[in-house]
Structure 1
């Protein structure tokens, strides 16, 4: 019988286990498999195969019942978000009841539980960090010092950019380093106008084309992935059958699969990481099958935790043992603390009454962007850190009448007149991490899988409020100088998490007393466990975070393989 148990365990043993198949999990799978490791990828949701599992990707508007709106009974499956869901993409979002949580304070947590995770939902914006970001905590006295600098991550940014396909210009902006870019998507006439007025009126603000994960010109590496050029359909939320934008489904997971080293296991809800006290190592992962509720255990020498930031916190908090009674690696009691996100509350809109002889040709799957300009070189405001700005000015609304019936209605609908150009902008502010913003396990309440429910306890601070106020003042002035009319700026007061960029809780740092991970993303107290999704973030920066997740994951995987070869892990 003992031999049978040994044989059974061998069949469930891999070189590496990756928890999660989203943007960072996909990269962990690609890098580990490519380097020869037999790798198990665990995904709590259903399988989604590239192209064939994008049911709305090629549908015409008239093919959606009720104009794409979900029937009331379908809306109820998604709770408060239901009325805003579109039939073409609703299936990529988590339904209510799949994972109960306790909102001690309001928090909007968006989850995409399927193979590919939120890489099927992201806005595809990809900006590098600079040392203004990595050195920010040490310089400004918040959070803890990052254990890495730009020079450590720069070659890995290049590595993932070349594979993913990133469109953009080389703009020469110190706080937003240039990368390995494909040709940029063109600015509209209104965006060029705004770019010009900013240059004329400010010496610290520059509008650029947003850097985005769209293939604008095919390279050999993209042909090898069987991906195709972006056709600017702007139907990205439905899943791209062309592979024109980067996702785990289109790029990293197929690349990992073709090595023959990847085993993909959907419907695998991770309960906890198994820790062997005699070895002082993590030895595997305990999983609940979401369809059968059966419990399975898988074993490996190294484990990459990429379940998305808050779920990674949950898994580690629930991974208890005599050695780690408060969660795996949690010797300092900081696991789950210093949760952060981005501040999207500020918004502004208006119209441009110029360029009435022009209109946009085709669609733009991206937008233009103003890199952070507040508190970059010196502290100049009453709040810490700053914000970036997304700007859209690429369309003119059509005006037409819906009066009449039959031929009269048809004639009215076809008699369209273009109105003025609409312009809008939104902020992406850095939320300074504080200890009280945290997640923890509820001592009694369990979800439907018997896993403790996550308590979400995060709120805005005075720093965030001041940042929104400054954004409204500055953007109103910038819009006015550009000659825009009907300017309307406001604070949405949306709850934390509305940006879908939750980060922190398992932060990196140099000191095990004040951080959970070292400079290679290994738990200080359990070095064969790596955390490379948003949970590792020490601070949030103002950039969209996904490119940094990808680069850090590739770097950590490379280090893990080298350490395995030296016999230092497993």
Structure 2
């Protein structure tokens, strides 16, 4: 295991009280900690895994393939046996990155139906390994449940979140263009990354041939023109290495380590405690509010308690729901909820459906560097004014392009001078259109606590009972057909439609299970991400999602976190939440 240069922290005595506790240090937790600290609160940030410090703990970030024992091509069997679930992605568990993913043997769960739970337990969480695509939701998304009579209504609309999208985009740094699409609102962008020749061709062809859709640059959390504020945090322009999952020593992409953690630390109000597994929330029956959290020290197995006036759950969708379900008391014998919705409505984008093809032109061209963001084809189905499809909601395509390099020579036959000449030439241009589709909020797609299996620390684990339905199947059929049609119209060759039938979880966009809503009868949290019944508990990660728009959700978690932290700090100041 890779150890951190900053794994030793000053001891924090059990029972110590803070103004706020933030559980989880990933994308939403980093934002919650930053905002609460900047608003004058003393914050304890709890992370169940080890410390990772920016730059110094990115141990593989600048390594070349030949620096690894197996050239970063093969992972030893003894390593792989610790990652049976994390390795299902096919790309996460490498010599360069496996240490950023959870040990599945120490952290098991039960699959009633297949569910790929991809996790990272360390300071920064999955903000170190995320895909970085950052899109706003629109009222098309926030109003869909209400208009279709599905699940429950979102308690917010785009106007509620728009200023907070502005706020987090400016700080995080999002590269993109203003594209004028009402269902994918524009934001405050740094310059988009330029297209390569294949991307230029696809963009021009689809935009000219299909009037109902528009190919745009993916909006990605990478700095292309850093602001003074960002540079003062030690961040720099993207270097086009595309080794992001190893940790970026330049701070060019948004992560807890590069952005929110240093901003929180400079207030002198932040305490970070790694190796802190939050087991449950402590509820005071007489006061009718939470007073703190119970923690297991990951290394010593010691049980501790920490107290605070406000608690923010940012442990990831399923992590936060686990804590709420495990927080039982006389008032909440079945977990901290009265609605019956806790653990229900688990969603994940269904993906790995679309088409691949070759591009047989521009063989005299190659790209400079490896830009980490490509093109995006926003949702074009079931938009206002269109004829309805055989399915509800919609999907968008992420577009990936590359050109084969010298390793294409592995499959070449021959020898001698001709073989060497072929082997030194670049191979074919490749393109993939991969759809990410919305999954509906099904009440019986759910998770439970089970004591049939326990983790390394003796805790019950989650049991997953989740699967896709007819709506997702119909959407996938259309997505594959449309991917093929766009590539055909654009003149690509060797077009191959695909549908891998990926299981829920593999998109790593799990959402729901402790949703926001309009009432404690239909939801766990209100419009400010505040627990309906326990007013000093907030949740702003994927657990709070009421539906799963097809856009990548992380930017929305950032905006919700900043908004909820502002509300909580003001409520404390007013005395609405007692100290």
**The TM-score by the shorter chain falls in which range?**
over 0.9
* 1:165-204 equivalent positions in 2, closer than 5 A: 165-204=173-212
1:114 paired to 2:122: yes
Residue matched to 1:370: 377
1:345 paired to 2:349: no
Number of positions where the alignment pairs a residue of Structure 1 with one of Structure 2: 560
Give the superposition deviation at 1:410.
Answer: 13
Residue matched to 2:3: none
- Of 35, 45, 48, which residue of structure 1 is paired with 2:49? 45
1:514 paired to 2:522: yes
* 1:15-34 equivalent positions in 2, closer than 5 A: 15-34=19-38
Distance 2:355 2:303 in 1: 50
- Of 81, 95, 107, which residue of structure 2 is paired with 1:87? 95
Q: Identify unmatched segments of 5+ residues in structure 1.
A: 1-7
Give the superposition deviation at 1:113.
Answer: 0.2
Change (3 A) 1:303 1:417: same
1:488 paired to 2:496: yes
Give the superposition deviation at 1:480.
Answer: 0.5
Give the superposition deviation at 1:258.
Answer: 1.4
* 1:400-415 equivalent positions in 2, closer than 5 A: 401=409, 412=420, 415=423
1:139 paired to 2:147: yes
Give the superposition deviation at 1:63.
Answer: 0.4
Distance 1:24 1:145 in 2: 23
* Partner SS for 1:284: strand
- Of 479, 490, 499, which residue of structure 1 is paired with 2:487? 479
Distance 2:422 2:401 in 1: 24
Q: Is the 8 A contact 2:222 2:253 kept in 1?
A: yes
Distance 1:392 1:345 in 2: 12
Residue matched to 2:76: 71
Q: Is the 8 A contact 2:403 2:426 kept in 1?
A: no
Change (3 A) 1:29 1:414: farther
The CA deviation string for residues 359-414 of structure 1, in whole angstroms up to 9 with x for no partner, is 2222111110000011111461111100010112343544764699xx97999389
Distance 1:131 1:401 in 2: 50
Give the superposition deviation at 1:255.
Answer: 1.1
Moved more, 209-218 or 373-382: 373-382
Distance 2:523 2:363 in 1: 56
The CA deviation string for residues 414-445 of structure 1, in whole angstroms up to 9 with x for no partner, is 95223332111101000001011001111543
Distance 1:269 1:477 in 2: 49
Give the superposition deviation at 1:9.
Answer: 8.1
Moved more, 73-82 or 166-175: 73-82
Residue matched to 1:354: 361
The CA deviation string for residues 174-206 of structure 1, in whole angstroms up to 9 with x for no partner, is 111111100110112221211121122211110
1:395 paired to 2:400: no
Distance 1:13 1:399 in 2: 57
* 1:240-319 equivalent positions in 2, closer than 5 A: 240-319=248-327
The CA deviation string for residues 512-568 of structure 1, in whole angstroms up to 9 with x for no partner, is 211111100011111110000000000010111100000000000000000000001
- Of 60, 63, 76, which residue of structure 2 is paired with 1:59? 63
Distance 2:56 2:181 in 1: 41
Residue matched to 1:5: none
Q: Is the 8 A contact 1:191 1:394 kept in 2?
A: no
Moved more, 416-425 or 540-549: 416-425
Change (3 A) 1:80 1:446: closer
Residue matched to 2:456: 448
Change (3 A) 1:56 1:322: same
Q: Is the 8 A contact 1:309 1:503 kept in 2?
A: yes
Give the superposition deviation at 1:11.
Answer: 6.2
Change (3 A) 1:480 1:302: same
Q: Is the 8 A contact 1:22 1:117 kept in 2?
A: yes
Distance 1:80 1:510 in 2: 36
Residue matched to 2:8: none
Distance 1:104 1:10 in 2: 37
Residue matched to 2:215: 207
Distance 1:413 1:519 in 2: 64
Q: Is the 8 A contact 1:156 1:551 kept in 2?
A: yes
Q: Is the 8 A contact 2:83 2:103 kept in 1?
A: yes
Question: TM-score under structure 1 normalisation?
Answer: 0.95
Give the superposition deviation at 1:357.
Answer: 3.0
Structure whose residues are more often strand by fraction: 1
Q: Is the 8 A contact 2:292 2:305 kept in 1?
A: yes
Give the superposition deviation at 1:143.
Answer: 2.0
Distance 1:210 1:88 in 2: 26
Distance 1:477 1:413 in 2: 36
* Partner SS for 2:310: strand
Question: TM-score under structure 2 normalisation?
Answer: 0.94
Moved more, 549-558 or 342-351: 342-351
* Partner SS for 1:58: coil
